Amino acid sequence: MRLYSSQPMPSILNSLKLLADPTRLRILLLLVNESLSVAELQQILGMGQSRISTQLSQLKKEGLVDDQRSGKNNIYSAQLPKQLEKVAQEAGKELPELQQDFASLKHILLKRKDHVRAYFDQLAGKFGREYVPGRSWKSLAEAMLKILNYDTVADLGAGEGTLSQLLAQRAKKVIAIDNSEKMVAFGQKLAKDNKLPNLEYRLGDIEAPPIDDSSVDLAIFSQALHHADHPEKAIAEAYRILKPGGRLIILDLLQHTFEKARELYFDTWLGFSEVEMVRMISNAGFQNPETVVVDRESEAPHFQTLLGTAMK
């Protein structure tokens, strides 16, 4: 990355020159808040692809943005040093379009969640029969060995609640969180039908679960993080709701290259490497993070399941 104080003066001058253009400044301020594709920037800014791509190219050349391939799209993120970001934020206050830009950004992010939620609404009641990448009884059993005898458990991104119902057999209370109203309604019916009064379903997002601080003994994500917009935020929320000494369990896909998963299963992330999983867990404040690959599917694309654990 360029433009730190040790870098030559021309780099800073070139960057300030780029920031002086209102369009480039609008793009940068959006990317400071959220990583976006060219198509999403088009929707927010109301500009053509060619114009936005040209601006991004100039910003990338100077090292102010970076991009990463995600399926068919390049996802752009801001790479501004702190001092330059402060200048951009102050300059942005003079942009008449800024308020509308961020209102449009909020709409784009809601659309992302709606696409995922619609997919899971369609699957409500079918999870026992429908294929879900990375979900296997072997991987669930590996996790179950580590979660015996917990009083209060949070199943974050519970879906219809297959795992929640298993947990409710041993835990005193299980709180199942899902952002699909149909999933929650279906899970509530299953809990009632199966006489599990200690299983409570709540409508909510795993990045802001409706659970009190320091109130649960175990927080578990089962094939949920790769659907999150911000997995690190979801893990940080798990830290918030856990009691001191509480345990985190994550079951998710090991990083893969099956890009069709984004269209077939509405995956936001193509799994996570073990290094990345440990980094996210550690950054949230957890202690003693561990990871292990617990399953590999026999059929293509051979999804593998990653188990991560840690203590608060």
Contact status, residue 284 vs residue 235, Cβ threshold 8 Å: yes
- 127-177 per-position pLDDT tens digit: 555 556 666 655 665 566 555 678 999 999 998 788 898 888 888 999 999
Whether 300 is in a domain gets the answer: yes
Whether 244 is in a domain gets the answer: yes
Same domain, 144 and 89: no
pLDDT bucket at 115, cuts 50 / 70 / 90: low
Q: Are strands 216-222 and 242-253 parallel, antiparallel or unpaired?
A: parallel
Give φ, ψ of 194 to 5 degrees: -95, 10
Whether 106 is in a domain gets the answer: no
More confident residue, 123 or 46: 46
Query: What is the C-alpha separation between 18 and 260, in angstroms, rounded?
Result: 37
Same domain, 181 and 295: yes
Whether 104 is in a domain gets the answer: no
- Give the domain extent around 164: 137-311
Whether 115 is in a domain gets the answer: no
> Domain total for the chain?
2
Counting residues of the chain whose pLDDT is more than 70, the rounded percentage is 84
Same domain, 177 and 241: yes
Query: What is the C-alpha separation between 128 and 139, in angstroms, rounded?
Result: 15
Contact status, residue 106 vs residue 36, Cβ threshold 8 Å: no
Supply the pTM of this predicted model.
0.63
Contact status, residue 29 vs residue 86, Cβ threshold 8 Å: no
Question: Whose CA is closest to 165, among 197, 129, 133?
Answer: 197
Whether 119 is in a domain gets the answer: no
Query: What is the C-alpha separation between 201 and 157, in angstroms, rounded?
Result: 11
Of the three residues 64, 96, 128, the one that is the final residue of a domain is 96
Same domain, 298 and 181: yes
Same domain, 30 and 141: no
Please compute the mean of the pLDDT values over residues 25-50 and round it to a whole number. Answer: 91
